[in-house]
């Protein structure tokens, strides 16, 4: 009948319009990489971002201002705290950068136990405000689960990732020094930043005092040399406001422009993904359903392959919402592992001291990077601990700041405050958090967000192993600073809740066995072969290194595999 | 990253606070212009805060707090960045400071006394807030003078005259030199 054929035509037209080769959900650090790689391999790619667009440089307004040109000289207001009680606690949240953090009232979740979930819902996600520390993992990390039995064995080893680390480092632009350490493999580095005089002194004293550890300059995604049209870094140290010089790697500065250049990218902001559409006959995902957060209309988009890069908890939520006859507990969740094994690094613990000396030394510029003391516990038989498994690394730095007292008033106070005080140095540990099934996020259908969508209940904590490790993290920090000759050493433990380190991972882990894991060794869902997950959700353990670089490498590798499989007709 | 900028440093120095803090509602004579009656600070309030700030950070061969309009800055910060409890402490503190001046200097309020007398008074109040802070429990109120001093230091050293004249500031350093010579008297970096 004519009517039928008309209907078919209309449907086809809509379907064709909404059909791409690939869909990427999320535009943060891993979504940006997925978009770049898919587009460069010739796939018409739709990137769905739940928040607004943020264009490189153009939308970084405020960062060009001096502090006195801002009403509160960069400080957080009571209104900020009211709108974003959780976000406003973050170190990177200030009068300029606050536009990159979510409104906590509009985006609620339930803290079954205290969990500070720091989020940026906009194009670029948290790649705009990230800490930029970039470290490779080693086989000490990839073999850890298999060796001590916590979590499931990683289906990859360092040799699988090494070429992909190189690949992403060359494009991203990571600075660092080659050190030849087994626990922290070297990469393809831009010139390293330099340690200041006290840091050099402390590094030398640590080398003299210990044979199991070193202090090196941090490795960060700031461009010490120009990378393409980005940078170089101008040493303002205002990175988390977005850099008008393109001085560091972000989706906005790097991967999304590269994807755009191919002509294959379609970016759709204001698109909250509700679920992945699954075809049980084909045993494949056919696309995703979104809610347009501006029009409140739902729409479907279709593709041959879907990459979920909505963040560790965002991706878990989408999977849990994607229920069907075939997957009543969520897409690809026959294992029951989706949402579980949530990890974050435990940190905010260390020591600080002052140094008598180098009174005739100072520095110029604001280095957006610190020092790093790579892991030295449980990396060999000799360094084995009996009180905990796994390990931690330290980040920190020396500075010559203002004096330590602000005594009196008047001319004396002014003089005191306008000259630099003594040198001081602080180091703080970042520790591994063991995968534990009990640490989890589950869907709460009763508590709805601003858009009427379900929310997450987050139930996660640091347990015995982390607590035992923290004692050593404090003690070792103080001991090292003491051996380095610092005085007035004080220790600190700010006891942050999980989430606050902003390294959440693990909710759809990789593994060899579909019964106990969600993804295979190529970040491909065991049960849905054309869905790939390469954000923090995929991680089978947390190591102690900052994880973003590993997400980048896993993403580039997964896209390569996905496109190869597509071409072979396997997915 | 535990990076200390000038702001957090000041907060660290003065962030601690003070004991005892019961608010004495001191009876001021009716002839006085009342200070700090509301968060809609009056020009008199701002002039008063400017003088307090100038006494804490006076003009020398470099600009002082008044040049940096610290009085005005304090009112913005109290209004937008203080919680209700601290707003009340600050507002009441303005009257308390003025009353302390009257008590010490024959009924003369802070605006009427000489710069030397102002310095004498605020030196005493600074000692008072420091002693109070030493014994203060976390939940105790902050001393009003601690607030005023903290806001003065913050406002001044992050102001244009404070950052660029009293301290050194380069908006876009362009490079990082890890070790450069320093000689006594060279100014500290603002950031």
Residue B8 has pLDDT above 60, yes or no: no
Q: Which of B9, B178, B180 sits opposite A195 (nearest CB)?
A: B178
Residue A2 has pLDDT above 80, yes or no: no
Nearest CA in chain B to A64: B171
Kindly report the number of other CB atoms within 10 A of residue A400's CB atom: 21
Nearest CA in chain B to A424: B4
Residue B28 has pLDDT above 50, yes or no: no
At residue B25 the predicted structure's pLDDT band, cuts being 50, 70 and 90, is very low
Q: What is the DSSP letter of A184?
A: B
Tell me how far apart the alpha carbons of residues A43 and A32 are, in angstroms, rounded to a whole number: 14
Q: Which of A78, A365, A404 sits opposite B81 (nearest CB)?
A: A78
Please name the residues in contact with A354: beta carbons below 8 A apart, sequence gap of 6 or more. A404, A422, A423, A424, A486, A487, A488
Residue A253 has pLDDT above 60, yes or no: yes
Q: Do A72 and B76 touch (CB under 8 A)?
A: yes
Chain B residues lying within 8 Å of A396, measured CB to CB: 1-2
- Beta-strand pair A454-459/A110-111: parallel
Read off the pLDDT of each residue in A353-374 and give the average, rounded to a whole number. 98
Of A60, A61, A124, A161, the residue nearest A254 (C-alpha)? A124
Q: Which of B82, B179, B184 sits opposite A197 (nearest CB)?
A: B179
Long-range contacts of B40-48 (CB under 8 A, 24+ apart): B41/B75, B41/B79, B45/B71, B45/B75, B45/B94, B46/B71, B46/B72, B46/B75, B47/B71, B47/B111, B48/B94, B48/B98, B48/B110, B48/B111
| Exposure on the CB side of residue A15, measured as CA atoms within 13 A | 8
Q: What pLDDT is stored for residue B32 in this prediction?
A: 58
Chain A residues lying within 8 Å of B183, measured CB to CB: 360
Q: What pLDDT is stored for residue A406 in this prediction?
A: 86
B123 touching A, CB under 8 A?
yes
B187 touching A, CB under 8 A?
yes
Read off the pLDDT of each residue in A501-509 and give the average, rounded to a whole number. 98
Of B3, B12, B1, the residue nearest A428 (C-alpha)? B1
Residue B26 has pLDDT above 90, yes or no: no
Q: What is the per-residue DSSP string for B74-95?
A: HHHHHHHHS-HHHHHHHHHHHH
Q: What pLDDT is stored for residue B105 in this prediction?
A: 98
Nearest CA in chain A to B172: A236
Q: What pLDDT is stored for residue A564 in this prediction?
A: 98
Q: Which of A68, A71, A408 sits opposite B159 (nearest CB)?
A: A68
% of chain A with per-residue pLDDT over 90: 96
Q: Is A355 helix (H, G, I), strand (E, B) or coil?
A: strand
Please name the residues in contact with A565: beta carbons below 8 A apart, sequence gap of 6 or more. A529, A571
Q: What is the pLDDT of residues A272-310, one digit of tens each?
A: 999 999 999 999 999 999 999 999 999 999 999 999 999
- Categorise residue A149: left if φ over 0, alpha if ψ from -120 to 50, beta otherwise: left
Mutate to test the interface with A, among B1, B61, B73, B156 (most CBs of A within 10 A): B1
End-to-end CA distance of chain B: 15
**Burial status of residue B21 (CB atoms within 10 A of its CB: 0-12, 13-18, 19 or more):** middle
Residue A8 has pLDDT above 60, yes or no: no
For CA atoms A200, A203, A207, A208, the dihedral sign is positive
At residue A16 the predicted structure's pLDDT band, cuts being 50, 70 and 90, is confident
How many angstroms away from the CA of B82 is the closest CA of chain A?
Answer: 7
Residue B23 has pLDDT above 90, yes or no: no
Three-state secondary structure along B143-172?
CHHHHHHHHHHHHHHCCHHHHHHHCECCCC
Q: What pLDDT is stored for residue A401 in this prediction?
A: 83
How many angstroms away from the CA of B167 is the closest CA of chain A?
Answer: 6
At residue B18 the predicted structure's pLDDT band, cuts being 50, 70 and 90, is very low
Please name the residues in contact with A567: beta carbons below 8 A apart, sequence gap of 6 or more. none
% of chain A with per-residue pLDDT over 70: 97
Inter-chain contacts counted by CB atoms under 8 A, chains A and B:
176
How many angstroms away from the CA of A492 is the closest CA of chain B?
Answer: 12
For the whole model, what pTM was predicted? 0.93
Q: What is the pLDDT of residues A134-154, one digit of tens each?
A: 999 999 999 999 999 999 999
Q: What is the pLDDT of residues A400-455, one digit of tens each?
A: 987 767 889 999 999 999 999 999 999 999 999 999 999 999 999 999 999 999 99
Extract the tokens encoding B117. Answer: 């007398």
When the pLDDT of each residue in chain A is averaged and rounded to a whole number, the result is: 96
Read off the pLDDT of each residue in A463-470 and give the average, rounded to a whole number. 98
Cα A360 to chain centroid, rounded? 39
Chain B residues lying within 8 Å of A366, measured CB to CB: 173, 176, 189, 191
At residue A46 the predicted structure's pLDDT band, cuts being 50, 70 and 90, is very high
Residue A106 has pLDDT above 70, yes or no: yes
Q: Do B171 and A236 touch (CB under 8 A)?
A: yes
Residue B29 has pLDDT above 80, yes or no: no
Q: What pLDDT is stored for residue B9 in this prediction?
A: 41
Extract the tokens encoding A156. Answer: 């990859």
Tell me how far apart the alpha carbons of residues A144 and A543 are, in angstroms, rounded to a whole number: 9
Read off the pLDDT of each residue in A452-470 and give the average, rounded to a whole number. 98
B166 touching A, CB under 8 A?
yes
How many angstroms away from the CA of A394 is the closest CA of chain B?
Answer: 10
At residue A15 the predicted structure's pLDDT band, cuts being 50, 70 and 90, is confident
Q: Which of B77, B81, B178 sits opposite A194 (nearest CB)?
A: B178
Nearest CA in chain A to B159: A68
At residue A519 the predicted structure's pLDDT band, cuts being 50, 70 and 90, is very high
């Amino acid at each position: 009948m004519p009517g039928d054929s008309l209907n078919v035509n209309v449907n086809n037209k809509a379907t064709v319009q909404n059909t791409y080769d690939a869909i990427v959900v999320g535009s943060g650090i891993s979504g940006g990489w997925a978009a770049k790689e898919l587009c460069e391999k010739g796939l018409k790619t739709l990137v769905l971002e739940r928040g607004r667009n943020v264009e490189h440089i153009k939308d970084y307004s405020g960062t060009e201002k001096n502090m006195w040109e801002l009403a509160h000289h960069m400080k957080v207001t009571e209104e900020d705290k009211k709108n974003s009680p959780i976000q406003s606690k973050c170190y990177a949240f200030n009068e300029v950068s606050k536009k990159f953090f979510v409104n906590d009232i509009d985006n609620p979740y339930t803290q079954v136990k205290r969990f500070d979930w720091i989020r940026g819902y906009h194009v670029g996600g948290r790649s705009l405000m990230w800490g930029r520390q970039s470290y490779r993992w080693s086989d000490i990390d990839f073999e850890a689960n298999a060796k001590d039995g916590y979590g499931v064995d990683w289906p990859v080893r360092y040799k699988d990732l090494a070429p992909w680390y190189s690949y992403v480092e060359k494009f991203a632009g990571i600075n660092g020094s080659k050190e030849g350490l087994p626990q922290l493999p070297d990469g393809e580095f831009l010139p390293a930043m330099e340690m200041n005089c006290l840091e050099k002194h402390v590094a030398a004293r640590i080398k003299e005092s210990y044979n199991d550890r070193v202090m090196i300059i941090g490795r960060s995604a700031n461009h010490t040399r120009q990378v393409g049209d980005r940078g170089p870094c101008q040493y303002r140290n205002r990175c988390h406001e977005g850099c008008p010089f393109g001085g560091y790697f972000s989706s906005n500065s790097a991967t999304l422009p590269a994807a755009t250049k191919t002509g294959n990218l379609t970016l759709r902001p204001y698109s909250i993904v509700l679920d992945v559409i699954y075809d049980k006959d084909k045993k494949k995902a056919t696309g995703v359903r979104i809610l347009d957060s501006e029009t409140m209309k739902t729409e479907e988009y279709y593709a041959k392959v879907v990459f979920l890069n909505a963040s560790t908890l965002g991706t878990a939520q989408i999977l849990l919402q994607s229920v069907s006859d075939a997957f009543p507990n969520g897409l690809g969740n026959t294992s029951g592992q989706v949402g579980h094994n949530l990890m974050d690094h435990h940190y905010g613990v260390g020591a600080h001291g002052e140094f008598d000396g180098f009174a005739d030394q100072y520095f110029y510029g604001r280095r957006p990077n610190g020092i790093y003391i790579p892991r030295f516990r449980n990396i060999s038989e000799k360094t084995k601990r009996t009180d905990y498994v796994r390990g931690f690394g330290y980040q920190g730095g020396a500075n010559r700041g203002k004096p330590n007292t602000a005594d009196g008033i008047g001319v004396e106070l002014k003089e005191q405050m306008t000259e630099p005080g003594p040198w001081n140095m602080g180091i703080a540990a970042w520790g591994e958090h063991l995968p534990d099934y009990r640490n989890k996020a589950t869907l709460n259908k009763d508590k709805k967000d601003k858009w009427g969508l379900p929310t997450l209940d987050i139930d996660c904590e640091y347990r015995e192993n982390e607590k035992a490790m923290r004692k050593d993290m404090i003690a070792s920090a103080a001991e090292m600073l003491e051996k380095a000759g610092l005085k007035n050493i004080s220790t600190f433990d700010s006891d942050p809740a999980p989430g606050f380190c902003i390294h959440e991972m693990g909710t759809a882990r990789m593994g060899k066995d579909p019964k106990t894991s969600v993804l295979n060794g190529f970040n491909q869902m065991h049960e849905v072969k054309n869905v790939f997950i390469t954000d923090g959700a995929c991680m089978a353990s947390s190591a102690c290194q900052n994880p973003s670089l590993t997400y980048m490498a896993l993403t580039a590798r997964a896209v390569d595999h996905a496109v190869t499989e597509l071409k072979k007709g396997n997915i | 990253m535990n990076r200390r900028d000038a702001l957090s440093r000041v907060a660290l120095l003065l962030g601690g606070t003070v004991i005892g803090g019961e608010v004495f509602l001191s009876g001021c004579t009716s002839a006085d212009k009342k200070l700090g009656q509301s968060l809609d600070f009056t020009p008199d309030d701002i002039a008063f805060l400017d003088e307090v700030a100038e006494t804490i950070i006076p003009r020398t061969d470099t600009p002082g707090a008044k040049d940096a309009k610290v009085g005005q800055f304090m009112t913005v910060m109290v209004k937008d960045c203080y919680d209700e409890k601290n707003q009340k402490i600050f507002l009441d503190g303005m009257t308390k400071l003025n009353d302390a001046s009257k008590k010490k200097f024959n009924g003369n309020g802070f605006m009427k006394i000489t710069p030397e007398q102002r310095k004498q008074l605020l030196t005493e109040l600074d000692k008072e807030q420091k002693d109070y802070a030493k014994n203060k429990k976390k939940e105790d109120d902050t001393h009003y003078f601690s607030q005023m001093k903290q806001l003065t230091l913050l406002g001044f050293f992050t102001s244009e005259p404070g950052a660029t004249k009293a301290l050194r500031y380069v908006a876009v350093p362009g490079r990082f030199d890890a070790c450069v010579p320093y000689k006594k008297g060279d100014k500290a970096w603002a950031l």
